[in-house]
Structure 1
Amino acid sequence: MRLLDVQALDLRLDQLAHRRRTIPEIAESERLRVERKQLESDMITAETQVTDLTREQRKAEADVEQVRSRRTRDEQRLQAGQVGSPKELESLSHEIESLTRRQSDLEDVELDVMERLETAAARHDELRGQYTALEERLAEVDRSRDAAFAGIDAESDQIRRERADTAAGVTDTLLTLYEKLRAQFGGVGAAALHQRRCEGCRMELDASYLTKIASTPDDTVLRCEECGRILVRTLEPGV
């Protein structure tokens, strides 16, 4: 019966190991990390766009200022009466008109760049906010995961100690066979013989084999004729 106790403890350890591998926080943490990586990429793209548009805005401002300064100088010359001939006066007037149109066009460009920069900066700020919130959520999930790990590990350690104490009452030869069969049969190397049925494979044993079992000494290692697992006799009469 001690071997069945070992088997029960091993199954409990297997269940805890499975639970440790599949706690929801693991999948959630992985999902958030993928999302964070995508956000980081999006932030780099947004930051690059802000940098490029900032440079473009400075150029647009410089272009406008250059045309504005030239136009101001021409207007000052005109107002100061520094133009002598009618032909030069006409030429200067045409140039001022041309500069006025050019300044207007450049100011439109400047305004467009400013609007695009404002949109890009808002997008970058939005992504930073999302990133901050995601980092906080990820930290929370990881703390919950680690707490779950700690609880499972503490329970597993306790069961391992109990298992070691229990296995000390099983012979080395039987324990070695049990471990080998356990690896073969999905974690179940020993099963109870209950109501003429192997609890490992759930098959009912042949009557002649049951008779043979009944006549063997109590310390004989029995094997299920169907699945090969170690059979442990219970207190049921006749087996």
Structure 2
Amino acid sequence: MKADPAVQRRLLDLAQVDTELARVAHRRRTLPEIAEIAEAEKLVRAKQDALTTVQTTLGDLDRDVKRQETEIDQVRARAARDRELLQSGKIAAKQLTDLEHELATLVRRQSALEDDLLELMERREAVEADVQHARVELDKAQEALSDAARRRDAALADLESTEAKRTADRKLMTTQFPEPLLALYDRVRAHKGTGAALLQSRRCGACRIELDRSALGKVKEAAADEVVQCEECGAIMVRTAESGL
């Protein structure tokens, strides 16, 4: 294949644009914020689970407290009725003894229930503090996630702007090349990553391998408008005064 040497040299500009586009694509895939967001999401889920756990414990304690208060109210009401009977003087002696015994039992029962209620209230207070702490931790984790997402979106917006500009540049540049040359360049780029590179100091600018004597001889013998390719990577080697030929 033949192409004007000046046209071949313009392939270097096209390769530079393609390198930048490839860098943008790589950057988009490997943004540090992407990994940061994944970790932040895991932390948010963990903090949500922790909050759910302590909220469930608090709910259980609330039910226990309510049940305990209900039982205390029942004991108090029964004791109040017994006292009214004792004070009425309308009960027999045997009933009086049984009633006094029951009242004493109710008093002890009420005391025990109130002690248990106090312990439940203390536990509830501690768990409520845990709930508040868990909420604060979840808020912090969610803010960190939001911050990472904002930074990712800003980075992506910047990359998209660069990509749009360089894609437009590429579209304009490709009109400068004959179709066969551009097709060869694109085919090599698709398979090897670099379609064209400068042959500099007898070294291919794409694979960085120095040409051996045989390959170098073939390049020297090739006409200036001959399109030569690296035998190692297939890239079009653009020859200039820097090629060392």
Q: TM-score, normalised by structure 2?
A: 0.87
For structure 1, the 5+ residue unaligned runs are none
**Aligned letter for 2:184?**
L
Runs of at least 5 residues in structure 2 that lack an aligned partner in the other structure: 1-8
| Aligned with 2:12 (options 4, 7, 11) | 4
Q: After TM superposition, where is structure 1 displaced by more than 6 Å over at least 4 residues in a row?
A: none
| Corresponding position: 1:25 with 2:40 | no
Determine which of 130, 136, 139 is the counterpart of 2:146: 139
Checking the alignment, whether the CA contact within 8 Å between 1:190 and 1:232 is kept in structure 2 is yes
Q: Among residues 70, 73, 76, which one is paired with 1:65 in the alignment? A: 73
Asked if the contact 2:200/2:243 (under 8 Å) is kept, the reply is no
Q: Which residue of 2 aligns with 1:153?
A: 160
Q: What does 1:116-127 align with in structure 2 at a 5 Å threshold?
A: 116-127=123-134
Alpha-carbon distance between aligned partners in 2 of 1:235 and 1:161, rounded to the nearest angstrom: 30
Residue number in structure 1 paired with 2:236: 230
Distance in 1 of aligned mates of 2:197 and 2:91: 114
Q: CA deviation at 1:237?
A: 6.9
Distance in 1, matches of 2:166 and 2:36, equals 28
Aligned residues with identical type, % of pairs: 41
Please give the alpha-carbon distance, in whole angstroms, between the structure 2 residues aligned to 1:48 and 1:237: 74
Instruction: Indicate yes or no: 2:55 matched with 1:35.
Output: no
Q: CA deviation at 1:88?
A: 2.2
Separation of aligned partners in 2, 1:176 and 1:119: 73
Corresponding pairs, count: 237
Contact 1:3 1:167 (C-alpha < 8 Å) held by counterparts: no
Equivalent residue, structure 2, for 1:89: 96
Cα deviation, 1:153-185, whole Å, max 9, x if unaligned, reads: 111211222222222222222222222222322
Q: For 1:219, which of 216, 225, 228 is the aligned residue?
A: 225
**Aligned pair in 2 of structure 1 residues 121, 184: CA closer, same or farther (>3 Å)?**
same
Rounded to whole Å, the distance in 2 between the matches of 1:212 and 1:65 is 105
Match of 1:162 in 2: 169
How high is the TM-score relative to the length of structure 1? 0.89
CA-CA distance at 1:80 after TM superposition: 3.1
